[in-house]
Amino acid sequence: MTGVRLEPGDEAPDFTLPDADGNLVSLSSLRGQQVVVYFYPAAMTPGCTKEACDFTASLPDFGKAGMTVLGISPDAPAKLQKFRDKEHLTFPLLSDPDRAVHEAYGAYGEKMNYGKKTMGVIRSTFVVGADGKIENAYYGVKATGHVDRLRKELGV
């Protein structure tokens, strides 16, 4: 386990990752706006699909609040492209195959899966402020209902 646990006020680790089309997206290029960065285990699985579709359905509200949404998984860009196209997702999906960004955010490590300890992606969401600092950190979230909870807590 990496042991990293980001808290509000911490500097958000910067990253540059390829999106589903292979274009590079950097967190630092989004300075000046709030960014919701969420980590999910695998494209095209039921929970991840539900969460991604919930984010897509809520995008107009996040947009009105001046927030950008980025989804990050270990999946290759080609798989992300299929996922985006199949589910009509309208926000960037980023590929982190070596999980370096996951680890920098504490979103990869030991977790419980069906009562067993395993190593894997810890479903997590971070709200990064316009100043590049963590405003909210949510670890071990559930796919279903998470976006609604986030919207309520952020007033979006």
What amino acid positions are annotated as catalytic residues? 48
Number of helices (H) and strands (E) in the chain: give both, helices first. Answer: 4, 9
Q: Count the alpha carbons within 13 Å of 55 in the hemisphere toward its beta carbon.
A: 27
Cα separation, 115 vs 26, in Å, equals 36
Ramachandran region, residue 28 (left: φ > 0; alpha: ψ -120 to 50; beta: rest): alpha
Dihedral of CA 79/6/59/70: which sign?
Answer: negative
Packed helices 46-64 and 146-154: angle between N→C axes, nearest 10 degrees: 20
Cα separation, 118 vs 111, in Å, equals 5
- 124-128 vs 134-139, strand pairing mode: antiparallel
